[in-house]
Amino acid sequence: MRTGLAISAVALLVLGGCAARRIPGTDIEDTDDTRAILQVMERYRTAVEARDADAVLKLCSESFKDDAGSPKVEDRLDYATLKKKLPENFAKLDEVKLELNVRKIEFHPETSAASAVYNYNLSFRIPRVSNKSQNESEIKQMWFKRDHGQWKIASGI
């Protein structure tokens, strides 16, 4: 009986040692790639709050494409359009606060891409329109691709 317990205890320790480590406070596997993607998202968050269009652009792939969830052609963005519109849009905003809560990161080896599902809470003011803060909250998905060995945002901002 003791031998059976000892074998079970050793088996549990071995299996527990093989379990994937998680990033503290999440169910996201702790790997170099997941940490790199989380760092890109954090740099994105701080760049948006600073209304720093150049910093956001540096995080994006030059193959960036986004339809903003809209069928309208004028809502579609590519890297060149983002480069033009981002500074214009940031110039209209004040008191920007962005919170990102990443729920899941998945890798898609067949396309060399990754995706992150996240909740975002955004508050901002548009002084020309109103002194009241505007708030947005939504679940979104950001897509990433490797670009010269670094993860870059390909869509989903």
Average pLDDT score over the chain: 86
pTM for the full model?
0.83
130 vs 114: CA distance, rounded Å:
38
Residues 148, 157 contacting (CB under 8 angstroms): no
Q: In the numeric block, which tokens belong to residue 150?
A: 């670094």
Question: Please, what sign has the CA dihedral across residues 149, 63, 139, 133?
Answer: positive
Helix (H) or strand (E) holding 51: none
DSSP 151: E
Region 114-133 average pLDDT: 92
pLDDT, tens digit, 9 for 90 and up, residues 61-93: 999 998 877 777 777 889 999 999 999 999 999
Burial classification of residue 37, based on how many CB atoms lie within 10 Å of its CB (0-12 exposed, 13-18 middle, 19 or more buried): buried
The domains of the chain, with CATH numbers, are 27-155 (3.10.450.50)
- Nearest partner of 54 among 44, 63, 64, judged by Cα: 44
Q: In this predicted structure, which of 21-25, 94-98, 126-130, 146-150 has the lowest mean pLDDT?
A: 21-25
CA–CA distance, 107 with 61 (Å, rounded to integer): 17
